[in-house]
Every structure is written in C-alpha cells, then in structure tokens.
Structure 1
Amino acid sequence: MNQLLKRSEVPAEHRWNLDDLYPSREAWDREYQDVLSKLHDIKSFEGKLSEPAAIKQCFELEDAISLQMERLYVYANMKHHEDMADSAYMALSDKSKKLSVEVGEAMSFISPEILSLSDEQLQKLVADPELAFYKRTLEEMIRQKQHVLSKAEEALLAQVGNLSQAPSTIFGMLNNADLKFPKVKNEQGEEVELTHGRYIQFLESLNREVRKEAFQAMYATYAKQKNTIAATLAANVTKNMFYAKTRKYPSALEMSLYGDNIDKSVYTNLIDTIHEALPLMHRYMELRRKLLKVDQLHMYDLFAPLVDEYKLEISYDEAKSMVKESLKPLGEAYLDVLQDGFDNRWIDVYENEGKRNGAYSWGAYGTHPYVLLNHKDNLNSMFTLTHEMGHALHSYLSDTNQPYRYAQYTIFLAEVASTLNEALLMEYMLNKSTDPKEKMYLLTYYMDQFRTTVFRQTMFAEFEKIIHEKAEQGESLTPQLLSEVYYGLNKLYYGEEMAVDQDIEMEWARIPHFYNSFYVYKYATGFSAATSFAKQILEEGEPAVERYLGFLKSGGNDYSINILKKAGVDMSSPEPIKQAMSVFKELLDEMEALTK
C-alpha cells in the first residue's frame, strides 16, 4: 500500500475519539470563552496574597483555569496532529498556544507576590492548617525563590513565551510539512517516496543497497537545509541561555534539572557510566558485523535484520493480545484499565496523509489519556503500543489517585512505566520462544533497544551538553561545528572498527527532541530504572508489584528521585545504570553463545 489514506478514509475504530474531551467545536469555543472570563477573576487577587484565605481561593482558581487550559490545548493540538496540513486545526492549535501564553501572563504574579513575603511569613503559611493541601506547593515555591524575578520581570518573561516557542515550531513545520524526501527503490525495485514513517522500514531491509540509498537520501535532504536547521537549533540554545541567565542559574543544563530537583551528578553519572560500558557496545557492533557477513559495518547496517528470512508479522489485534498477556505480572486491576483503552478508542492507530509522525501518549486530567501511533504490522510497532500504553496507564493511575495539582508526574519519571512494559513484553516473548531463529531475532531487538534507548540517547545527551557549553563559552553553533561534534561522538560510541559514514554527521538536524532540551537523558535513566523494576517484579512478585503500582499512583506528589526511592530504585547512584548494563552484557553473552 504505497498510497496513504486521507484522514476521512480511516475507519472510526482505528481513530481516537476526541469527543470524550469535547463533543463539538462549539463546546471548545465555550470553554475558551470561559477561560478568558476567569482571567479577569484571577487578576482580582493581585496585591492580596498575604493572607491564607486569599491564597487558598487564588490557588483553587489557578487550578480550575490550568485544567481548562490543559484540555483546550491538548484537544486543539491533537486535532492538528490528525492532519498537519488541515488549516482549520492549524489555526486552532495556534489559538490554544496563544491562550496558553495569556494564561501564563495572567497568573505570573502569583509566585513572585507570595515570594515577596518575608521568610518568617512564608514559614507561617507552610504551617497554616488552612493551606495544608498546598504545603508542597509552598515548599516548592520557597525552593525556587532564588530563581523567581520581580513581578514586572515575570510578566515580561511570560510575554516572551510566544517567541520562545518559535525554534520548536519552525523546526516542526520544516520537518513535518515542508521537507520533501526523494523517491528511493524498495526491495522490489519500485520507486517509493521516502517518508519519516518509511525510513526505518528501508533501514530494516535485507537488501544492503536499499538501506544505503535510503540512508544517503535522508541525510542529503537534511544537508540541503543545514544552514536553516543549524540556525533554528542555535536559536533554541540561545533561548535556553537567555532563560538560565535571566533566572540566575549557573548553566542551561542546571536550569533544566532544577525543576525536577535533580543534581547535575545524575546527568554526568549517566554519561560516565555509559562511557565505561562502551567496550560492550563495540563488542555488540563486532557481533553485528559477523552476523551480517560484511567486511565492515556501516551506519546504515544498524537496523538490518541479523536473522535471515525471519520476519515477525504481527497484526494490530495480535499485538494487543500479546501485550495484555505479557503484562499479567502487574495484576488484574492494571489489565482492566488496559482493556478499557483498547475497547474505547483511546488509540489513533495507523498512519494517514498529513498525520504527525512518531508516537506519543497525551491527554488532560479528568478524561482518559490518548495514544497516537503510526502502526505497522511488525515487532517494533507492538513494542511501541506497549510503550505508549505504559505512559497512558501511568497517567490514568496518577490522575485517578491524585488531585489535579499533584497528579502530573515529571518527565524524569515518564519513561519508567513505558519501558517497564517493554521489558515485560520482551521477557514474555523470550520465555515463550522455542525457535533459535526467533530467539536470536528477539535478542537482537532487545539489544537494539539498549543501543537506541540507553547508548544513543546518552550520546544525544552528551551532544546537547557539549553544544550548550560551547555556546555558553561564546562559540558560534555553525552547521560545521554541530556536524563535527556529532560525528566525533558517533566515532566514540560505535568504536574504531565501525565505518562511521560521513553522512551521519547530519543526524543532529532531524532530532526533534533537541528542541526540548536536556530531555533525552531521561530515556536512558528511565530505561535503567525500568530494567531494575522489571528484575524486582519478576524475582519478588507481589511485594515488588505493590511498590511499583504505588509508584504509578504517586503522580508528582513528591520529588522524582524520592518517588523512585520509595518504590525501590535509587537513581541518585550509578547502580541502576550499572544494573542495566549487566543485563545488556547477559544478552550479549547469550547472543554470542547462539552464534557459535
């Protein structure tokens, strides 16, 4: 099927049902107007936030507005993602973004006004029984105090909100709507248009020429836009530096970690521990080269199947039932919610013309979460399904067990639940497998999860750290510099034996996560925490499951590191990363044994 369906041609059961958020556009408009009117109400608290009663009422209204804003924003942007070329929803998405900035402006007085009180008054508020529910909020405000500016400065920063979204918005439009990739030959020798969705499929081809052509076409397309994309990425780094300097943080990295109350050592620990484990990665590359029977391994060989003629075709329905089966260790209550998601159109399943690429789980408090997929009938898509449903159930359990203010978990925690689901699915499939070919195929898949989620994301994290440091030292982030740094890291991570093709130096240009800075390291820490949880659940059973479900229900009711610690995983030490690396080594040993 070389022609993508139009959105209107996709059967209803394969589309998410956004009516659960708003039954109609009119309902969205009404809520939009309601938020506008509440913005006048919130302003009336300005100058009155020194008494517990006023603070309590103000916080209650702030929650009401934030929740409505979240719903408006999520709906508008999810509608936009159904078909990025649909101008009506492009406009709605813009409208929601602008309102979000207005809301930020209207409420920007709250923190600075409360924080202008003396330390003694602040401590009194924290101890006041009338504000008991907001104790954590107030304590967190006090922690942030040194980085909060005066009322006028905060209002000004809130207005800069629209500008600060520009690099990400420009990159998104360029990457999803304007970049046109050439046609490349598939395995049958037919000319097929290269798309984001098809790229990995080409790289998974058994035919090396198909892989090479797709790889070169992809990066040649980005290379043509390198000046524009470098300027966009540099603008994003400049934005981060602006906020860090304005808010008096030592660096952009420390600013990004401060929100989660995470020490810089967690970030550097990750990079250092992975550097120590690079010989394992190089060993895996050498094994890959042997299995592919090539003189030298190239970058376009990284996704090539290592098992001849073994293709696991898994339909969407089969994927759902295997996911459910593999998650049985998490208990009945978890499985019931999962089934609810499958049955009641939480999921947007297949690629269609103009649809946003990739996959995510998103939603708004008070309504169930949603999942966007671009499903293909393969193993990777089944893992994407369990991954995104892991996020969705984490949100569902947090939302149903925490009040709105404390339900939102941090991004630091976000990748744990999704990756744990993947670990359980892999464990289930490896245990069930009796065919050595299938086992090899699964082991390769799992090894590649480690490669892409732990090693590659750590490499991305190191790239971000380096380019921010260079910019902070006054260097210009030219396309040449970005490519040089990126190419050097690929050589370090993949090893001397590997032919690190020059084309890969442009890969930085296609990574959307670089516009959500210092985010990717959380994939690697999350994967390590999940590997640790999975080990505990499979070895201990019930007590570990209880701790884990407790973690899922915690939302953001404490700092991320503490929430994980309570559930049995200490991310402030390199231990969980070392544990993940020991699992990687076991898998590598098993693979090497199978090939002897």
Structure 2
Amino acid sequence: MSIFMSMKSQQMLEHLTSAETSAETTHELPERKDVAAEDKWRLEDLYASDEDWQKDAAQLTGRLAELAAMSGTLGNSAESFYAALKLQDELDEIGSRLFAYARMRRDEDNRNAKFQALADKAMMLMVQLQSASAFLVPEILSIPTETIRQFFHEFEPLGLYKFAVEEVLREKPHVLSTDAESILAQTEEIASAPQNIFSMFNDADLTFPSITDEEGKKVEVTHGRYMTFLESRNREVRKQAFDAVYSTYGKHQNMLAATYGASVKKDCFYARIRNYPSAREAALSPDDVPISVYDHLIDAVHSSLPALHKYLRLRKRVLKVDELHFYDLYTPLVAEVDEKIPYRKAVDTVLEALHPLGPDYLQAARRGLLEEGWVDVQETRGKTSGAYSWGAYGVHPYILLNYNNSLNHMFTLAHELGHAMHSYYSHREQPHVYANYTIFVAEVASTSNESLLFRHLLQTTEDKSVRASLINHHLETIRGTVIRQTMFAEFEKLTHAHVEAGEALTPEWLADTYRKLIDAYFGAVCVMDDKIAWEWSRIPHFYRAFYVYKYATGLSAATALSERILAEGDAALQPYLTFLKSGGSDHPIPLLQKAGVDMSTPKPVEATLQMFDALVDELAELLGVSAEA
C-alpha cells in the first residue's frame, strides 16, 4: 500500500471478504424496502445520489495521471515533496469515500447487480490509486534523510506529514534496492500460496462426518455447526463432534504440516532478507511494538494459570463429570438470559452503561444511534451478515448490525458503537492522514464499551441467575481472548524460532510442541485427549503470523482503562478521550500510555487475569459450588 492508503479501508476489505459471502437469505426475512427508515443507515450523507458518486469517481480517475506525473520530482524541493504528499492524501480521501459507499451499498443487499458493479468499480479505482502512488515510498527512501529533514525545516506546511514520513524513514534499514524490491514484489502471489492452499482445503475441500444430535438425527458436522455442538448439554454430542473434527484434521497432518511450514519459512525469509533479527520482530515493527510486550504477555498468562485451573475445576464440578475433557470446555455453565431486548431498549441500556464516558460522548452516541442515520439495524434478505463499523473521513461513522433482540447482540451494539465513537473522535480531531488508527489499538474502544456494559448490568440486577450468566459470559470472553490467544501466540513464537534455528516443522514436532503447550495451560485439570495435539492445524490465524497477540493485549488494555474510568471518574476519562481523538498520530504504545495504560509492562494483562480470578470466585459462590482444589 502507499504511504497514506487508508488502513480502515484495508481492514474492512479483509472483513468483507469473509463476511459478505455468508449473507443468508430465507423466506422469513423481510425485504429491505419493508424496513422502517429509522432502522436504516443514511448513506446519502456520503453521496446524495449514485450520480454524485460517479462524478467523484471520474474526478479521481482524471487526477491519477497528475499524481503519477510527480514521480521523480520529490527530491527537487520542499514544495515538490509537499505537493506530491498532499495530492496523494487528497486522492486517498476521495478513494476511501468512494470505496466505503459502494461496499456498504452492496452490503445492504448482496443480490443487487447495480451495487455489485459499483463495488467492483470501487475496487478497481483503489487498485489504480495504489498503482499511481506506488512510487512514493521508494522515492522518499531514495532521497538523503538529511535533505528530507531540511525540507521540513524550510517549508512549514510540510510539517503536517512529518510523523508519516518519519514512519517511512524508520523502516529504511529494511528496504532493499529498487531492483531487489521489484523482485520481492513479484513474489507476493507465491508468498500467499500457503494461506490460499489452507483456505481452499479448509473452506472448500474439507468435509466432516455426520454425528447423532440431541434429537437422535444424523447431522453433518460443519465449521459453522461445530461450536454449537460443543455448547450442547448432551455430552455425547460434544464428544462426537470433537472426534469428528480432529480425526478429520488428523488424517491430513502431513499436508497441513508442509503447508504451515511453508508459511513459517516465508515469514522467516522475508524477515531475513529485510535485515530483521527475527520474523517476530519484523511483524511487530510496523507498530513499533518491542518484542518485550509479546514476551510480557506470555509470562503474565503463565503466572496466572492457577486462576484458569480454578475455573476449570469449577467447570468440572458444575458439569458433574469425573474427567474434564476438551470437548467440555465450551458448554455454558449457566443458562443464558433469554430476555428479549428490542433495539431501542438496547440503545437506552448501552447509553446508561456508558454514562461514565461523559456528556459529549453520550450526546454524540445518542444522536448517531437514534437520529443521524449511523446504524443499519435489521437483518434483511441479501444483507451482509455479522456486524461492523466503517465510514469515511469527513462523514459520521456507520454501523452495520443484524440485530436479533438478544443479550449477545446488545453487547455487539456496545462493541460496534465503541469503534464508531473512536472513529468519530479521531476523524473530528485529526487531519485525514492521521484519522485512522492501527489494529493494535482498534479493539480497545470497542472492548472498553463491552466492559462498561458488563459492569452496568451486574450493578443493576440482583437476580442470581442473571448475574451468574453475565459472569460466565465474561469469563469465557477473557479465557478465549486473553488466555487462548496467548497460547496461540506462544506457539507461533516457538514455530518461527524453530525454523530460524534451521530445523524442520515436521508433523511430529508440531503435534508434540502443541501438546506440551496444551498440557502447560490445561493439563493440571483437563484430561489430555490425544487428538487435541492436532488443533494447531485448524487455526486460520496462524497463516497471518504474530497477529493473535493483539486480541489479548487489546482486551487487557480495554479492561484496565474501563476499570480506571469507573474508579477515578473525570481524572481517567479525559486521557481516555484524548486517546480516542488521537487516531494514528503516534505509535500504539505511547498512545495507550497517554490514555492511562502502559502495555510495555505486564501489569494490564496481570490485572485482567486477577479480575478473571475474582469472577471465578463470585461465580462459584453464586452457583454454590467450591472452585478450590
């Protein structure tokens, strides 16, 4: 991507690639035309008409040649340097708006051929913009750093782009010659082969056997049904599903080991050729995150494993099983709250929960949710499934929901509102070049909102069953997001280090290494099912190395910030709001430090796991079951 290409657009592109294909149409769903206007987002705030969109598309196309013509001019003067950056920034702003509008229009109804075509055209325009601006980074790096620094000194308007340019220069030791970069660029398709092979195998070719469900019917196990089976109250159903999935992956261990091994070798090759000490450091470098953050996370989770073991013992007692197996880990310990929560009631509840974030936040959120057309609420035929927040600079954010009146969907609303308000503040306070934030901090605002909603719901109910259900939900969130993702992160660290030491990732080594991790995390309570050693082979995230740790750090940061706001009020709120307003104007670690949480230390992770420990005790008390050994 070019120096200023919108990360938000790229993040959403990744989301849409997986989400839009899962839009379901059933006879029970209403058509979009039958939904009330107040339940639809107002994309007219992006473009009043499709004709206006076409005018902007024509303008962008016409100006691409102007940008490409600036190639070779950046080193001529400070003014030339500034002109190229400014034009690219302006075109990226237009392109991002075009892309957002077209894709969100298509998300309204994926069957609509008109908006399918518009989305395809938007993608083509983004590719053309990328191509026209591809010269920027290599040319910046070809100019002596002293010259660039002098440009900033000579021409004050150029100061707007100082941090962005410094980010390019920071990576200069890892950028190769023009010829070498050209060769590497041509290897991109080959480098993506392991992930593509796994995806085709996992999503297209792989099938699982059928099992007997709770009603005695033969049902085929699928990726989508697997978790539903694991949550079943019928233990035999859980065991059958577990055996069906892992036996299937087990039959393909040689192929999967070769595929994953190729992916790890690719990571290590690019790190080595770009002069990074390791693949892990190469992956963390774009966010300027030291590897100590990664190691602190692993160490903190290991130190807190007794709390996990206590939770597992509680689970064993509540389920009344002699042995706790891995297929017993996802069954809810408490029946989920079955209360129907209409959208407007959910909005009121979420806003009440977010009261600690202050009147400015609440007023903007209320306007967005109920008055200004931020949210597309209802599930309709052809609509993209799931939920997300998106938008474009200069226009309010948008939220796509498929709201179904459940507690989980109320948490989803709080989550997506957190993303939207992060964008609202950062877009309002930052110039376009710094308006979007990195993935490392992207989940902080959203998860903070979930934490505040959880605390609010606990404080406003005396019903023991409701409290127990809420706590069970939150414990599973922490276990899945902090503990499990950290175990995955540790596995990635071990596999890459093994290859960097010149060793091969054989099926036996991978299974043995994963089994030892499982034993370290769960073995104190769980029976070691042999098939769990093959779990590594079904994790898609492993083909995007050193990414999953961000889930754990993001939730930990959000927990620390939300708890601090509840405890300290305005003294903690103002730094948090400053963080929301900062966008991508600094690296993630200092941005979070200014907000009041220091992710360079293990303390936020430790605090989150201490909360986990306390919640296990509370859940045990509510259920009248001992959690101690």
TM-score range with shorter-chain normalisation?
Answer: 0.7 to 0.9
| 2:141 is the alignment partner of 1:115 | yes
* Distance in 1 separating the partners of 2:205 and 2:51: 31
Give the counterpart of 1:42 among 52, 67, 83. Answer: 67
Structure 1 partner of 2:569: 541
Query: How far 1:483 sits from its partner (Å)?
Result: 4.1
Give the unaligned 5+ runs of structure 1: none
Structure 1, 535-544 or 102-111: larger mean CA deviation: 102-111
Larger mean CA deviation between 378-387 and 441-450 belongs to 378-387
Matched, 1:5 2:26: yes
Matched residue type, 1:274: V
1:492 and 2:539 matched? no
SS of the counterpart of 1:56?
helix
TM-aligned CA deviation for residue 169 of structure 1: 5.5
Work out whether residues 299 and 499 of structure 1, in 8 Å CA contact, stay in contact via their aligned partners in 2.
yes
Q: Which has the higher mean CA deviation after the structures are superposed, 135-144 or 390-399?
A: 135-144
Letter in 1 for 2:72: G
Residue identity in the other structure for 1:444: N
Query: Partner letter of residue 556 of structure 2?
Result: S
The superposition leaves residues 69-122 of structure 1 with CA deviations (integer Å, 9 ceiling, x where unpaired) of 434555566677778899998887777666655544432322332232334323
Residues 344-385 of structure 1, C-alpha deviations (whole Å, 9 max, x = no match): 2534654977956x5443343334434455655544333233
Residue 57 (structure 1) aligned with residue 83 (structure 2) = yes
One of 369, 386, 404 as aligned partner of 2:397: 369
Q: 2:329 corresponds to which residue?
A: 302
The correspondence of residues 391-430 of structure 1 with structure 2, limited to 5 A, is 391-430=419-458
| Partner amino acid, structure 2, of 1:38 | R
Residues 497-508 of structure 1: pairs in structure 2 closer than 5 A: 497-508=525-536
The 10-residue stretch of structure 1 (223-232 or 112-121) with the greater mean CA deviation from structure 2: 223-232
Change (3 A) 1:22 1:190: farther
Percentage identity across paired residues of the two chains? 46
Q: Specify the SS of the correspondent of 1:259.
A: helix
Distance in 2 (CA, whole Å) between partners of 1:510 and 1:422 is 28
Q: Are the aligned partners of 2:300 and 2:602 in contact in 1 as well (CA < 8 Å)? A: yes
Aligned to 1:587: 615
Paired residues in the alignment total: 592
1:142-161 mapped onto 2 (5 Å cutoff):
142-158=169-185, 160-161=187-188
Summarize the alignment of residues 180-579 of structure 1 with structure 2, pairs less than 5 Å apart: 186-189=213-216, 196-220=223-247, 222=249, 233-307=260-334, 309=335, 311-315=337-341, 317=343, 318-343=345-370, 344=373, 346-347=375-376, 350=379, 355=384, 359-373=387-401, 378-477=406-505, 481-579=509-607
Kept in 2, the 8 Å contact 1:73–1:96? The answer is: yes
Tell me, yes or no, if the aligned pair for 1:109 and 1:155 is still in contact at 8 Å: no
Instruction: Classify the secondary structure of the residue corresponding to 1:563.
Output: helix
- Letter aligned with residue 152 of structure 2: V
Q: Distance in 2 between matches of 1:86 and 1:165?
A: 31
Q: Decide whether the 8 Å contact of 2:390 with 2:420 is kept in 1.
A: yes
Gaps of 5+ in 2: 1-23
8 Å Cα contact 1:126-1:139 kept in structure 2:
no
- Equivalence for 2:164: 137
Deviation at 1:268, TM superposition (A): 0.7
SS at match of 2:526: coil
Partner of 2:9: none
Could you tell me how far apart the structure 2 residues matched to 1:76 and 1:170 are? 30
More relative contact order in 1 or in 2 (CA 8 Å, sep 6+)? Answer: 2
The 10-residue stretch of structure 1 (16-25 or 114-123) with the greater mean CA deviation from structure 2:
16-25
Aligned letter for 1:211?
Answer: R
C-alpha distance in 1, partners of 2:434/2:121? 27
Q: What secondary structure sits across from 2:304 in the alignment?
A: helix
Q: CA deviation at 1:521?
A: 0.8
Q: Is the 8 A contact 2:256 2:537 kept in 1?
A: yes
Question: Greater CA deviation, 462-471 or 182-191?
Answer: 182-191
* CA RMSD of superposed structures (Å): 3.6
Whether the 8 Å contact between 1:16 and 1:346 is mirrored in structure 2 is: yes
Q: Is the 8 A contact 1:112 1:149 kept in 2?
A: no
Q: In structure 2, do the counterparts of structure 1 residues 101 and 239 end up closer, same or farther at CA, with 3 Å as the change threshold?
A: farther
Between the aligned partners of 2:198 and 2:59, the Cα distance in structure 1 is: 32
CA contact (8 A) 2:377 2:403 kept: no
Whole-angstrom CA distance in 1 between matches of 2:546 and 2:435: 23
The whole-number CA distance in structure 2 between the counterparts of 1:458 and 1:473 is 22
Q: Residues 407-455 of structure 1: CA distance to partner in whole angstroms, max 9, x if unpaired? A: 1111111121111111111111111221222222222222111101110
CA contact 1:84–1:177 (8 Å) conserved in 2: no
TM-score (norm: length of structure 2): 0.83
Output the TM-score relative to the length of structure 1. 0.87
Q: Secondary structure at the match of 1:305?
A: coil
Range with bigger deviation, 469-478 or 289-298: 469-478
